Structure 1
Amino acid sequence: MKFIDIAKNRYTTKKYLGGRKLDRDIIDQLKEILRMCPSSINSQPWKFTFIEDQELKNQLALSSRHNDERVRNASLIVVFSAMNEVGIFEEHLTKNLPPRALDYFTNNIKPRGEAEIKVWMQHQVYISLGFFLAACASMGLDSTPMEGIIRDDYDKALGITGYRTMFAVAVGFRDPEDENQPTITPKLRRPLEDVITEK
């Protein structure tokens, strides 16, 4: 399938078929896809937590507001977290990246201060989200990005330290009666001339 067709048919799934598991090979591919995500200066200030355990999904559903049903019924929940301690991030850069990347950080990002550094790291995690959603669609998987969660509760339930939960993604298989799918509710997008400018 061409990517343009994937873009036209991918949608945010609202209703999943509960009880369906993903093959281990698919989960392994999703893990590798996230590992290979792009980021500014190859900074990779993230961690991804894969959750299949139903009891844990049920617990997280209680902290997922209007996404509770999706968290319970999706085959997989992936929690996206950003590094939350600048000192640890700098150690990571020094240990893992070439001098030019470290120089870029030192000269262009670090002078902005701790709050701005954290925002910059969080932006990198959003890059991985777009990459991941497109990958899921290319593999025939349905997905739902979810910011509507109580992040502190997720951090506590998952034992996340040194990082901060940003959002989660439900992955699985749509219920055929999900009314949000484009064949039932056509996608609404702004006209091309409103979003694209040529110079």
Structure 2
Amino acid sequence: MMTLDDAVIARHTVKAFEPGQTVEQDKIETLLNVLQNSPSSVNSQPWHFVVASTPEGRAAMAKAATAAFSYNEPKILNASHVIALCMRSDLDEQHLEKVLEQEQKDGRFIAEGAREGQDKSRRAYVDMHRYELRDIPQWMEKQVYLALGGLLLGSAMLGIDATPMEGFDQRALDQSLGLREKGLTSVVLVSLGFRSEKDFNAALPKSRLPRNEIFTFI
């Protein structure tokens, strides 16, 4: 059984996938569970995930990998699954109410005043990022990258090869998937599948700065 140490050493960004190889559905379900339960600041969950598991779905995403980004097209078309990690255009009233209602439904408000306290606290952070820091988009994007980290580590633990990609035409992908009409915009793509013999990165040693460069113990 693969340990966490094994997974972090074994995983790498795959440069070529073997076409026609499909990840088992139970493993995909586990990764969807990872994404759904990802942490986010004040449980804001400002994300949406589009999962392409068919040739048609992958082709729709590949429309964003043309011109300067054409090198990523095979990584999309030849993968088993491709997930577009997206963020909301804003943390609007409807979304805040939906999150609060779900927390109520899931039984998170046991103590008296807990619901009101959670709502007030979350809105205080949203207002701070909207009016004082003026960085709502960047703040939401950070939460999406928290989900990305879990997805990549989860994939490695399951023996699934993965490639995160920022190299795509965001506007083209948003248009291809009809995201902006839904109040969403794409942030990063992740292809999942099994590497092919053309994946040169698999044979290269992992390179990271030494611990004494990146850790300070106090």
Provide the rounded CA distance (Å) in 2 between the counterparts of 1:118 and 1:89. Answer: 15
| C-alpha spacing 1:99/1:131, structure 2 compared with 1 (3 Å) | farther
Q: Does 1:61 align with 2:62?
A: yes
Q: 1-side partners of 2:77 and 2:34: how far apart?
A: 24
Per-residue deviation at 1:189? 0.6
Once the 2 structures are TM-superposed, how far is the Cα of residue 73 of structure 1 from its aligned partner?
0.5
Moved over 4 A (4+): none
Return 5+ residue gaps in structure 2 as ranges: 104-114
| Structure 1 residues 120-151: Cα deviation after superposition (integer angstroms, max 9, x where no partner) | 11111110000010000000000001111111
Distance in 1, matches of 2:88 and 2:58, equals 23
Q: Which amino acid aligns with 2:96?
A: E
Q: 2:97 aligns with which of 91, 100, 118?
A: 91
Deviates more, 1:131-140 or 1:33-42: 33-42
Say which of 71, 74, 78 aligns to 2:79: 74
1:142 to 161, 166, 169: 161
- 2:124 aligns with one of 107, 120, 126: 107
Deviation at 1:99, TM superposition (A): 3.2
Q: Counterparts of 1:99 and 1:83 in 2: how far apart (Å)?
A: 24
2: CA distance, partners of 1:110 / 1:29: 34
2:194 matched residue in structure 1: 173
Q: Note the aligned Cα RMSD (angstroms).
A: 1.7
| Cα distance, 1:110–1:54 mapped onto 2, change above 3 Å | same
Mark the CA change 1:89 to 1:121 in structure 2 (over 3 Å): closer, same or farther: farther
What SS is found at the alignment partner of 1:197?
Answer: coil
Aligned match of 2:27: 26
Aligned residues: 197
What TM-score do you get using the length of structure 2 for normalisation?
0.83
Q: Which runs of 5+ in 1 are unaligned?
A: none
Q: Structure 2: how far apart are the matches of 1:43 and 1:89?
A: 9
Q: Could you tell which deviates more after superposition, 27-36 or 107-116?
A: 107-116
Q: Structure 1 CA distance, aligned partners of 2:95 and 2:43?
A: 12
Q: Which residue of the other structure, out of 104, 123, 127, is the alignment partner of 2:142?
A: 123
Q: Secondary structure at the match of 1:106?
A: helix
* Conserved? CA contact 1:110–1:117, under 8 Å: no
Equivalent in the alignment of 1:163: 184
Query: Which residue is 2:112 aligned to?
Result: none
Instruction: Pick closer, same or farther for the CA change 1:179–1:56 going to 2, 3 Å.
Output: same
| 2:215 match | 196
- Quickly say closer, same or farther: Cα 1:118–1:91, change in 2 above 3 A: farther
Q: Structure 1: how far apart are the matches of 2:142 and 2:126?
A: 13
Structure 1 residue 78 displacement after superposition? 0.4
Cα drift, residue 49 of structure 1:
0.8
Cα deviation, residue 77, structure 1: 0.2
Q: Do the aligned residues in 2 keep the contact of 1:143 with 1:170 (CA within 8 Å)? A: yes
- The answer to whether the 8 Å contact 1:17/1:174 transfers is yes
Contact 1:146 1:168 in 2 (8 A): yes
